[in-house]
Amino acid sequence: MKRVLAIALGVLTAIGGFVDIGDIVANAESGARFGLSHAWVPLVGVIGICAYAEMSGRVSAVSGRPVFDLVRERLGPRVALANLAGSLLVTVLTLGAEIGGVGLALQLATSVGYLLWVPVVGVVLWVVLWRAKFSLLENLFGLTGLALVVFVIAFLHLHSDTGQLWRQATHPGPPVGEDWGTYWFFAVALFASAMTPYEVFFFSSGGVEERWSSKDLLTSRVNVFVGFPLGGLLAFALMATAATVFHPLQMSVDSLSQVALPAAVAFGKLGLAAAILGFFAATFGAAMETGLSSAYTVAQYFGWAWGKFRRPNGAARFHTVLMVSILVGVAVLMTTIDPIQLTEYTLVFSAVALPLTYLPILVVANDSGYLGRRVNGRLANGFGLLYLVIVLAAAIAAIPLMIVTRMGGG
Amino acid sequence: MLIGFDLLDRQILDRDGEPVGKVDDVELAVDGNGTPYVAALLIGQQALGDRIGGVLGRWLAGTARRLAPAPTPGPIRIPYDLVAEVTSSVNLSVSRDLLPEPPLESWLRDHLINRIPGADNAG
């Protein structure tokens, strides 16, 4: 019974924890501008992250090695160092974007400008990662993130023109007034928001810290195969409500308050409150995950002692990197860059970095030296290879699309 | 066993599964019959930087060398006799308390982390 509860909690946490500022921004923007014509992208993205998170969870559980260990073992120190630089840049920028998201959520709740909140959030985040019982907070923010269910209920409540939405979803392509360039730019951003590399860094490192063994494969798989798709559903609800409320009016979404609007239209103040709470929890949870992931990748590349379960003075280098990452994230925001714009950039850079993360996972998941008889079966390899091709295409297309469409501006 | 594939860049764990470092490089020696063998594992950014090479590698090794304590300026060296088993990690037969501590870890702990309240409590 206790085991069932633990799994249920893990799943709920995975649902709430799946959504971050990237998902919020990408889904709402695409829903407003393109209706549901990108509906297939989150689906493709969720299947991809499930395939690779399952592999990395299995490698962690059976061999005790987290993802970045594999990156260095399989790519060698030079390529892995370049990979580290890229991943770290993306993860720290994402951390900045998440902190900005927390600030924006607090601005919505308090009317105090987000820039004033940013340093406060940075300090609180650091204190939490320095001192607090991490698993408790992870569950707390994961569960609170479920408040985003309000967007699913709002969608059902809003009497949307389902016929119209269905037509958009089944006829992928740019609506009137948009072109194929912007269509594909947003497709890449949405795909990257579902498959952000920090998710596998965090997931596999968490598995190692909790000393998963082969017995925990079930827990890992249930978390991945139930939690992530349901989390993806929350993200998709943001797209669907934006497609319902904004797309018919030809409005675009460029602030967090507009993303929350559909919930307010459906349920008034209560809906708005739930949306803000959900944004806050989702972005703060993701800030914890990205902060830790930055430090995980560096520590795992160099072989340092790492982990949130260690005393900070038993992992001084790890905690120093963590501290510096948060400082850099806060500093980026203090340049007064718009957090939403920062999020868009991080999604593009994530797309570029994706293959470097996923290739070593696929290689090691086929290595019986690590996994014994738990190596990939045909199904896992089929999906793995297919997604490697997709990820590579997205990585190659990301920067040219960004330049041609001027960040999706058209 | 292939040194490049099965040994280099693997995580080294001590007797209790605590991380010691990576196999950043290996030291080879030649026995009486002229057969080379792995004499020691080298750990730390000095060994790693020398292996990476180039400007970045020199910088990495140089900064690490500056931090290293005076009497033993080279990289941390673990005699291969101490290796119990090589699996997905390199497992040692001793506790890491018996091995030299990486200088960057000591420096950051003494100058930064230990000055912050709560550095002793696990999260």
Per the CB < 8 Å rule, is A69 touching B11? yes
Instruction: Find, among B84, B64, B80, the residue nearest to B72 by Cα.
Output: B64
- Residue B122 in any domain: the answer is no
3-state helix, strand, coil in chain B (%, to 5): 35, 25, 35
Neighbours of A342 (CB within 10 A): 24
Determine whether the interchain pair B123/A313 forms a contact, defined as Cβ–Cβ distance below 8 Å.
Answer: no
**pLDDT value of residue A410:** 60
Mutate to test the interface with A, among B11, B26, B59, B86 (most CBs of A within 10 A): B11
Give the mutation candidate from A60, A210, A313 for the B interface (greatest B CB count, under 10 A). A313
Residues of A in contact with B6 (CB under 8 A): 369
Contact residues for A216 (Cβ-Cβ < 8 A; gap 6+): A61, A207, A210
For the segment B31-78, what is each residue's pLDDT rounded down to a tens digit? Answer: 999 999 999 999 999 999 999 999 999 999 998 888 887 766 788 999
**Which of B88, B114, B123 comes nearest A132 by C-beta?**
B123
Residue A130's H or E segment, with its range, is: helix A114-131
C-alpha dist (Å) from residue A105 to A29, A99, A109, A126: 17, 10, 6, 19
| ipTM attached to this prediction | 0.94
pLDDT at B123: 57
**CB distance from B14 to chain A under 8 Å?**
no
Mean pLDDT of chain B: 90
Residues B13-28 have a mean pLDDT of 94
Is B112 close to A316, i.e. CB distance below 8 A?
Answer: yes
Answer whether B6 touches A (CB < 8 Å). yes
Contact A369 B20 (CB under 8 A): no
Q: Would you say residue B89 lies in a domain?
A: yes
Buried b (16+ CB within 10 A) or exposed e, B10-40: bbbbbeeeebbbbbbbbbeeeeeeeeeebeb
Nearest chain B residue to A70, by CA? B10
Number of H helices, E strands in chain A: 17, 0
Q: What is the number of other CB atoms lying within 10 angstroms of the CB of residue A169?
A: 17
Residue A305: list chain B partners with CB under 8 A: 18-19, 105
d(CA B21, CA B41): 10
Fold of domain A2-404: Amino acid/polyamine transporter I (1.20.1740)
Q: Which residues of A80-118 are buried (b: 16+ CB within 10 A; e: fewer)?
A: bbebbebbbebbbbbbbbbbbbbbbbbbbeeeeebeebb
Q: Could you tell me the residue range of the domain that residue B103 belongs to?
A: 3-115
d(CA A388, CA A359): 7
* Alpha-carbon gap: B119 to the closest alpha carbon of chain A (Å): 5
Q: How many structural domains comprise chain B?
A: 1
pLDDT at site B88: 87
Residue B120 lies in a domain: no
Spell out the per-residue pLDDT of chain A, length 410, in tens: 677 777 777 787 788 778 999 999 999 999 999 999 999 999 999 999 999 999 999 999 998 899 889 889 988 999 999 999 999 999 999 999 999 999 999 999 999 999 999 999 999 999 999 987 777 888 888 889 999 999 999 999 998 889 999 999 999 999 988 899 999 999 999 999 999 888 888 989 988 888 888 888 988 898 899 999 999 999 999 999 999 999 999 998 989 999 999 999 999 999 999 999 999 999 999 999 999 999 999 999 999 999 888 899 999 999 999 999 999 999 999 999 999 999 999 999 999 999 988 998 999 899 888 898 999 999 999 999 999 999 999 999 999 999 999 988 76
CATH of the domain at B37: 2.30.30.240
φ and ψ at residue A171, rounded to 5 degrees:
-120, 75
- B78 within a domain of the structure (yes/no): yes
Question: Is B22 at the interface with chain A, CB within 8 A?
Answer: yes
Task: In whole angstroms, give the CA distance from residue A94 to residue A25.
Answer: 13
Coil, helix or strand for B22?
Answer: strand
Chain A partners within 8 Å of B109 (Cβ): 313, 316
Amino acid at A378: R
Do A303 and B21 lie within an 8 Å CB cutoff? yes
Of B72, B81, B24, the C-alpha closest to B48 is B24
Q: A129 to chain B: nearest residue by CA?
A: B123
**Secondary structure of residue A185 in the 3-state scheme:** helix
Check CB contact under 8 Å for B24 and A369.
Answer: no
How far is the C-alpha of A38 from the C-alpha of A26, rounded, in Å?
A: 11
The reply to whether residue B102 touches residue A369, judged by beta carbons under 8 angstroms, is no
